[in-house]
A and B are shown apart, each in its own frame.
Chain A
């Protein structure tokens, strides 16, 4: 198991991701994610002085589109897919936390 990743780290990340994990899952994911981090550690052991971080696998920059309106999706079609609708809006459960 990775020395870098603790069970508490995983519990915190799971909480931020709104995942409800069991004790057994926490144990298992701590081990699995630790293995991933150990693998990344191998990369960190290389001499990477002067090598810029890779932003994207494709050697592309500035992929842009013109500022021109394109037909969207029909509202009725959109709202018909929603579990709950009211007053032409998506109806969602009460929000407990504040806005970030």
Chain B
């Protein structure tokens, strides 16, 4: 039995590593074939993807909502900026990312500890306060954090061995933007493998148990507070890494980059993609990166001013977010998976008229008590099965 479990675990790890390897190949092929401009765009997609990946683990697997991931990214970005003030700094980028992660983790722990006893609107409100508060810190400590202008990030020279290695593999010289894109996507792959493994393992099971039924989880010996804090910390760590990559990509850490809008659009990304799904987070990040220019062009063509047209992209996110929650709470990935399961079930039992539940996990709820009140719980996505209201 034990052997089987451990082989199962190896199997999961192997699958994640294989996916990562495949992803790496795709990344190399794509980054090598596109322009510098696109490389920068793809680097942006990567940091949004990392942050969204962390958020989707928190929201999807643990049922907690954070509106403060933009602020946590700011902490990662400012840490990186402080570590990379000029060309003299000899810190390797991997160390910078690690330090950014550790610092953000510490802040995440502080917020998460208070959050451990909270859920739903309380955590949302606390993290909303974080999102609004953090830019003010940068303004207050003008001397160290650069105030409104922010801090410049000076990227170190590309190590010679990297230049050589890339030339050896691709036969092309490595430009600085492409190098940044590589750093961004490598970080994304590492973060996603770690998140996927955590989610598939014992920790992930605990998070989901707490999300689905607090009382049952507590009876099963799970420490609710610890599960919530750990989920929040993991999620914050990912946001820290995302912040570091953001700093590398835009070469600036300034308060204007970390508005409440950033936190909210991250949430939009994971809702669109489907809560709890890393693939969904990546899809959401892609939409955040590439949709604005498309929508803005449509807007200017329709006669809007540039400033007005720039607001169309958030309008679309917001509308789609509302529509997704009302019509397809499982998001893109969840809905596709649900449709696939339904199609498969139809093929297997053509006579049966009963479709499976629209949710992507946990079977049909047959535990209805005739005496229980009839309020429905939206169980359509794994993330939305948290218990009813506190009263």
B and A form one assembly: no
- A contact residues vs B (CB 8 Å cutoff): none
Tell me the B residues contacting A by CB distance below 8 Å.
none
